[in-house]
Chain A
Amino acid sequence: MTAGGAPAPQVEVVPLGRVNSTAAQVVAANLQALLELDAMVVEPWPEPAQALVAARGQYDAGIIMQELATPQGGPLRLGLMGKDLCVPFLTYVLGESQLGGRAAVMSLHRLSEGEGGSRAPRHVMLERAAKVGLHEIAHVLGLEHCRTAGCLMRFSAGLTTLDRLHMGFCPACQRDLTRLRMDLPARAPAR
Chain B
Amino acid sequence: MTTKAGNKTKNRAPMVFDMTSDECIWSKAGVVAPRLCHNAFDCLSCSFDKAIQRKRVHGWYAGGLEQPMEEYWTSANWQNTAPHKRYCRHMLTGRVPFKLCPNHYACAKCAYDQMLDDEGLAQPAAEVRLASAAGFEVPPEYYLHPGHTWARVEYGGRVRIGLDDLAARLFGPADEFRLPQLGMAVTGGGKELAFSRSGHQARAASPIEGVVVARNPRVLENPAEANKLPYGEGWLLLVEPIRLQRDLKGMHSGEESVAWMEQESQRLSDLITHDTGQRLAATGGRMVPDIYGAVPGLDWQHLVHEFL
A residues whose Cβ falls under 8 Å from a Cβ of B: 1-10, 22, 25-26, 28-30, 32-34, 36-43, 72-75, 121-123, 126-127, 130, 166-168, 181-185
Q: Which residues of A contact B120 (CB under 8 A)?
A: 7-8, 10, 38
Known contacts A73-B117, A185-B118; A7 and B41 CB within 8 A of each other: yes
Shortest Cβ distance from residue B89 to the other chain A in the assembled complex, whole angstroms: 6
In contact, A26 and B213 (Cβ under 8 angstroms): yes
Cross-chain pairs A/B with CB under 8 angstroms, 22 sampled: A3-B108, A4-B52, A5-B89, A6-B43, A6-B44, A9-B155, A10-B121, A29-B214, A30-B238, A32-B238, A33-B160, A33-B216, A33-B235, A40-B155, A43-B44, A121-B181, A126-B183, A168-B217, A184-B118, A184-B121, A185-B118, A185-B121
In contact, B107 and A29 (Cβ under 8 angstroms): no
Shortest Cβ distance from residue A99 to the other chain B in the assembled complex, whole angstroms: 16
Besides A6-B156, A26-B182, A42-B44, 9 more A-B contacts (Cβ < 8 Å) are A4-B29, A5-B25, A5-B49, A6-B41, A7-B41, A32-B156, A33-B216, A37-B121, A40-B155
In contact, A4 and B25 (Cβ under 8 angstroms): yes
In contact, A75 and B44 (Cβ under 8 angstroms): no
Question: In the complex, how many residue pairs between chain A and chain B have their CB atoms under 8 Å apart?
Answer: 139
B residues whose Cβ falls under 8 Å from a Cβ of A: 19, 25-26, 29, 41-44, 46, 49, 52-53, 56, 89-90, 93, 95, 105-108, 113-115, 117-122, 125, 154-156, 158, 160, 181-184, 211, 213-218, 221, 235, 238, 240
- Cα A163 to Cα B56 in complex, Å, equals 46
- Cα A8 to Cα B120 in complex, Å, equals 9
Q: Which residues of A contact B26 (CB under 8 A)?
A: 4
Q: Which residues of A contact B215 (CB under 8 A)?
A: 167
Q: Which residues of A contact B122 (CB under 8 A)?
A: 181-185
In contact, B41 and A34 (Cβ under 8 angstroms): no
In contact, A75 and B117 (Cβ under 8 angstroms): yes
Q: Which residues of B contact A29 (CB under 8 A)?
A: 158, 213-214, 238, 240
In contact, A26 and B214 (Cβ under 8 angstroms): yes
| Least CB separation from A71: chain B residue | B114
Known contacts A29-B238, A38-B156; A7 and B90 CB within 8 A of each other: yes
